[in-house]
């Protein structure tokens, strides 16, 4: 009781100094939370992956396609339940900065493998009837105002020319981590058009999405698929969807690592600020600490006063910082549109913020607390405070 | 009780190290103080008065000689034993009061009692008695910054006597006060000694203050010289 009273009153002694320190802490922990959330959003695709889905791609590079006729051989492998072809389209909607992923897929097998993309039955039938039809995610539709019946023109990059699509349905998220920023259309439409425009590039597949009947056998099925195409002109690499997504993210990992480093640099800077504040504070109170020790209080009581004050200040700064991470993160997500399909402050991020706050509070207090605890009473009493 | 020696000092020496050089501060001090005495230690600035007082109060350690207070060789105690010993046996009165600025008069006086087993109710009645003794019952909720120097020193005296210590040590208790407040403080110390039988050791270079003590020791360049009883 008395201890807490002393800690809190000490913390409020220099209101301006404490307020500025808390402000710094708030900014630091808010920035840290946002940067960590960006990192998490980056890896989000891997987290949303299902264990029963495999991706078969060209072993040399993701950018080199596979022949369409592989599909039958893949389907024939024991343990394979379904196969769907898919191509990354990379079209531009109006302006290159309007980025959202587009996939040409085989509708029936693909959507049955991804039950988390919830498409109303009626809309799905309309989509199947229209070869230029498209299914778009809720977040994507909200961002660009797409409605069922709208025409969406895309300018091809990998597949040159202008492409016209009509929105036939909007899918919703089946789970919290489901990405609803995607755009799907008929792989047949892509392929037929390519037959006319560039016949040599027809019948080529970016990836095969494979559903296995038994998750336990996923690894064996992967090996078996790749074995089919050993020593052929286009060898395959089959991995779980999660491994595939991680590999995809790895291409941009340098940026993620940089963001991560920056987030910890921010914490390090606030640690330096906090340590300076605590050192200054403790130095001013040396006489008081010496007096307490003269009265018989143990050195660890004096040290605890400094630790308590440091932790109390960081706790307040961190709590406000965490509290602000949610609304600011929400605003940030709305500004980023579909760049980050899922931008949510996770429990992990909050736990990391708290852990950093405890570390900052404790480390900042360590040196001043040690010095105050060890101050020789006779000398501390001489100090003019 | 009166003749019992509460402080026994034999051939005590103390030196400080300053810039690689050893500076002797006290040499061969031998001194006895009986229970119930009120001793003034006088001497010019830098003669080692505070150093000697700090040794007696157990907040500094001698280099050599014997230092027995209340029957205990305090030079032999460990840091934490010494802290407990101080809490039980010594009441401190400082030149600059050394009150906690964030605590009220009441809370400052209560501070030493937090190291005892008293309940909060017992602590409250002790503190009220002590503050009444220094005539500050009406200032209990005031912070040090709201009190005059003389009042702050009276709070400090209440804090010093709250645990009923064996000795009271006062280092220039009137050094920062105007004449009238200084008189108040000296009257108070006089009463503590005369009425409550407190043993008081007071360092001062003010002859007015020294005159109020019942005995006087002179310290000159670290050596005890004449004394008057
Ligand atoms: N911690 C210390 N380190 C070095 N020298 C000290 C220390 N404390 C006191 N001294 C020196 O010891 C001498 C006596 O000091 P002190 O006991 O404070 O004298 P007084 O109280 O009589 O004025 C002085 O010369 C002082 O500078
Ligand atoms: Mg002195």
Report, as ranges of residue numbers, the positions in chain B whose pLDDT lies below 70: 1-3, 226-229
Segment A100-144, tens digit of pLDDT? 999 999 999 999 999 999 999 999 999 999 999 999 999 999 999
Chain B partners of A13 at a C-beta cutoff of 8 Å?
Answer: 101-102
The CA distance from A380 to the nearest CA of chain B, in Å, is 11
Q: Which token pair is B226?
A: 């004449």
Looking at residue B1, its pLDDT comes to 45
Is pLDDT of A14 > 50?
A: yes
> Is A248 among the domain residues?
no
SS3 readout for chain A: CHHHHHHHHHHCCCHHHHHHHHHHHHHHHHHHHHHHHHHHHHCHHHHCCCCCEEEEEECCCCCCCEECCHHHHHHHCCCEEEEEEEEECCCECCCCCCCCCEEEECHHHHHHHCCCEECCHHHHHHHHHCCCEEEEEHHHHHHHCCCCCCEEEEECCCCCCEEEEEEEEEEEECCCCCCCCCEEEEHHHHHHHHHHHCHHHCCEECEEEEEECCHHHHHHHHHHHHHHCCCCCCCEEEEEHHHHHHHHHHCCHHHHHHHHHHHHHHHHHHHHHHHHHHHHHHHHCHHHHHHHHHCCCCHHHHHHHHHHHHHHHHHHHHHHHHHHHHHHHHHHHHHHCCCCCCCCCCHHHHHHHHHHHHHHHHHHHHHHHHHHHHCCHHHHHHCCC
Q: Distance of CA B200 to CAs A24, B38, B81, B171, B219, Å?
A: 51, 5, 23, 11, 17
For the four alpha carbons of B8, B10, B16 and B17, in that order, the dihedral sign comes to negative
Cβ of B115 within 8 Å of Cβ of A378? The answer is: no
Ligand 2 centroid – CA B207 distance (Å):
15
Does A277 lie in the same domain as A173?
no
**Domains located in chain B, CATH noted:** 5-228 (3.40.50.300)
Q: Which of A10, A288, A378 sits opposite B59 (nearest CB)?
A: A378
Segment A48-57, tens digit of pLDDT? 788 899 999 9
Is pLDDT of A311 > 90?
A: yes
Query: In chain A, how many domains are there?
Result: 2
Q: Is B24 in the pocket of ligand 1 (CB under 6 A)?
A: no
Segment B125-141, tens digit of pLDDT? 999 999 999 999 999 99
Interface of A with B in 349-378 (CB under 8 A): 376-378
Chain A partners of B83 at a C-beta cutoff of 8 Å?
Answer: 293, 296-298
Q: Distance of CA B198 to CAs A3, A384, B132, B226, Å?
A: 31, 30, 17, 24
Does A285 lie in the same domain as A210?
no
Q: Which token pair is B196?
A: 């409550």
Does A267 lie in the same domain as A213?
no
Looking at residue B2, its pLDDT comes to 47
Does A83 lie in the same domain as A227?
yes
Does A97 lie in the same domain as A14?
no
CA–CA gap between residue A373 and residue B2 (Å, rounded): 38
Find the range with the poorest average confidence among A19-33, A62-76, A113-127, A246-260.
Answer: A246-260
Looking at residue B226, its pLDDT comes to 62
> Is A314 among the domain residues?
yes
> Is A243 among the domain residues?
no
Segment B51-83, tens digit of pLDDT? 999 999 999 999 999 999 988 999 999 999 999
B67, B73 in Cβ contact below 8 A?
A: yes
Number of inter-chain CB pairs under 8 A, A vs B: 60
Does A207 lie in the same domain as A153?
yes
Ligand 1, residue A376: give the atom nearest the CA: 1
* Strand B215-220 versus strand B21-34 pairing type: unpaired
Segment A249-296, tens digit of pLDDT? 777 788 889 999 999 999 999 999 999 999 999 999 999 999 999 999
> Is A332 among the domain residues?
yes
What is the mean pLDDT of the segment spanning A64-91?
A: 94
Chain A partners of B103 at a C-beta cutoff of 8 Å?
Answer: 6, 9
Does A71 lie in the same domain as A35?
no
Interface of A with B in 285-314 (CB under 8 A): 287-288, 291-299
In chain A, the percentage of residues whose pLDDT exceeds 90 is 76
What letter does residue B141 receive in the DSSP assignment?
T
On average, the pLDDT of chain A sits at 92
Q: Which of B50, B59, B80 sits opposite A294 (nearest CB)?
A: B59
Looking at residue A345, its pLDDT comes to 87
Instruction: State the distance between the two ends of chain B, measured CA to CA, in whole angstroms.
Output: 18
Residues pairing with B40 in the sheet: B202, B216
Return the higher-pLDDT residue of A62 and B153.
B153
Does A64 lie in the same domain as A6?
no
Looking at residue A385, its pLDDT comes to 45
> Is A283 among the domain residues?
yes
Is pLDDT of A328 > 90?
A: yes
What is the mean pLDDT of the segment spanning A222-230?
A: 93
Question: Which residue is closest to A301 within chain B, CA to CA?
Answer: B115
Q: How many CA atoms lie within 13 A of A170 on its CB side?
A: 15
Phi, psi of B141 (to 5 degrees): -95, 5
Does A80 lie in the same domain as A203?
yes
Predicted TM-score of the model (pTM): 0.78
Does A172 lie in the same domain as A130?
yes
Segment A149-205, tens digit of pLDDT? 999 999 999 999 999 999 999 999 998 888 899 999 999 999 999 999 999 999 999
Chain A partners of B118 at a C-beta cutoff of 8 Å?
Answer: none
> Is A372 among the domain residues?
yes
> Is A259 among the domain residues?
yes
> Is A240 among the domain residues?
no
CA–CA gap between residue A182 and residue A48 (Å, rounded): 14
CA–CA gap between residue B20 and residue B218 (Å, rounded): 30
Looking at residue A254, its pLDDT comes to 85
Looking at residue A333, its pLDDT comes to 82
Residues lining ion ligand 2 (Cβ < 5 A) are B 50
Find the DSSP H helices in B39-145.
49-56, 79-89, 105-110, 120-133
CA–CA gap between residue B136 and residue B162 (Å, rounded): 14
Q: In terms of residue numbers, what domain contains A292?
A: 2-44+253-382
Looking at residue B229, its pLDDT comes to 47
Does A267 lie in the same domain as A206?
no
Residues, chain B, total? 229
Q: How confident is the model at residue A355 (pLDDT cuts 50, 70, 90)?
A: very high
Cβ of B94 within 8 Å of Cβ of A297? The answer is: no
CA–CA gap between residue B52 and residue A148 (Å, rounded): 94
Does A161 lie in the same domain as A80?
yes
Q: Which of A13, A292, A299 sits opposite B102 (nearest CB)?
A: A13
Last residue of one domain, picked from the residues A234, A262, A293: A234
């Amino acid at each position: 009781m008395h201890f807490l009273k002393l800690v809190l009153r000490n913390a409020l002694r220099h209101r301006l100094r404490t307020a500025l320190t808390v402000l710094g802490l708030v900014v630091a922990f808010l920035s840290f939370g946002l940067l960590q959330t960006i990192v998490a959003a980056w890896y989000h695709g891997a987290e949303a992956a299902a264990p029963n889905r495999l991706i078969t791609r060209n072993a040399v590079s993701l950018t080199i396609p596979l022949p369409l006729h592989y599909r039958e051989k893949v389907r024939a492998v024991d343990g394979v339940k379904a196969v769907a072809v898919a191509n990354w389209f990379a079209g531009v909607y109006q302006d290159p900065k309007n980025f959202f992923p587009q996939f040409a897929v085989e509708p029936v097998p693909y959507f049955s493998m991804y039950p988390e993309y919830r498409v109303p039955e009626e809309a799905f039938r309309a989509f199947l009837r229209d070869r230029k039809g498209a299914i778009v995610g809720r977040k994507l539709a909200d961002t660009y105002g797409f409605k069922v019946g709208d025409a969406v023109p895309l300018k091809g990059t990998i597949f040159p020319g202008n492409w016209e699509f009509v929105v036939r349905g909007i899918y919703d998220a089946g789970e919290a981590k489901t990405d609803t920023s995607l755009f799907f259309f008929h792989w047949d439409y892509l392929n037929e058009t390519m037959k006319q425009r560039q016949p040599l590039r027809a019948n080529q597949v970016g990836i095969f999405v494979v559903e296995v009947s038994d998750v336990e056998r996923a690894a064996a099925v992967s090996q078996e698929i790749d074995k089919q195409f050993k020593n052929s002109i286009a060898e395959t690499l089959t991995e779980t969807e999660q491994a595939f997504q991680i590999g995809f993210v790895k291409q941009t990992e340098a940026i993620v690592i940089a963001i991560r480093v920056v987030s910890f640099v921010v914490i390090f800077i606030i640690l330096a600020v906090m340590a300076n504040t605590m050192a200054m504070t403790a130095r001013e109170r040396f006489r008081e600490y010496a007096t307490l020790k003269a009265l018989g209080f143990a050195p660890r009581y004096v040290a605890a006063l400094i630790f308590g004050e440091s932790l109390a200040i960081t706790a307040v700064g961190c709590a406000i910082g965490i509290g602000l991470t949610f609304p600011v993160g929400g605003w940030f997500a709305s500004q980023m549109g579909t760049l980050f399909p899922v931008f949510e402050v996770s429990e992990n991020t909050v736990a990391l913020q708290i852990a950093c706050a405890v570390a900052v509070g404790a480390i900042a207090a360590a040196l001043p607390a040690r010095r105050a605890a060890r101050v020789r009473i006779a000398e501390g009493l001489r100090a003019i405070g | 009780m009166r003749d019992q020696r509460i402080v026994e000092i034999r051939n005590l020496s103390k030196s400080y190290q300053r810039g690689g050089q050893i500076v002797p501060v006290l040499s061969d001090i031998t001194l006895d103080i009986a229970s119930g005495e009120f001793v003034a230690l006088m001497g010019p600035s830098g003669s080692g008065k505070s150093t000697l007082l700090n040794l007696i109060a157990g907040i500094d350690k001698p280099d050599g000689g014997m230092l027995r207070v209340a029957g205990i060789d305090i030079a032999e105690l460990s840091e934490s034993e010494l802290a407990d010993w101080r809490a039980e046996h010594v009441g401190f009165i400082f030149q600059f009061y050394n009150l906690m600025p964030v605590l009220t008069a009441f809370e400052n006086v209560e501070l030493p009692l937090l190291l005892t087993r008293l309940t909060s109710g017992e602590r409250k009645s002790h503190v009220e008695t002590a503050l009444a003794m220094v005539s500050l019952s009406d200032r209990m909720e005031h912070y040090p910054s709201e009190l005059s120097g003389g009042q702050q020193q009276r709070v400090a005296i209440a804090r010093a006597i709250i645990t009923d210590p064996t000795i009271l040590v006062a280092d220039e208790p009137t050094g920062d006060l105007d004449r009238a407040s200084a008189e108040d403080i000296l009257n108070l110390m006089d009463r503590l000694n005369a009425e409550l039988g407190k043993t008081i050791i007071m360092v001062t270079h003010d002859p007015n203050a020294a005159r109020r003590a019942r005995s006087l020791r002179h310290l000159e360049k670290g050596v005890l010289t004449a004394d008057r009883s």
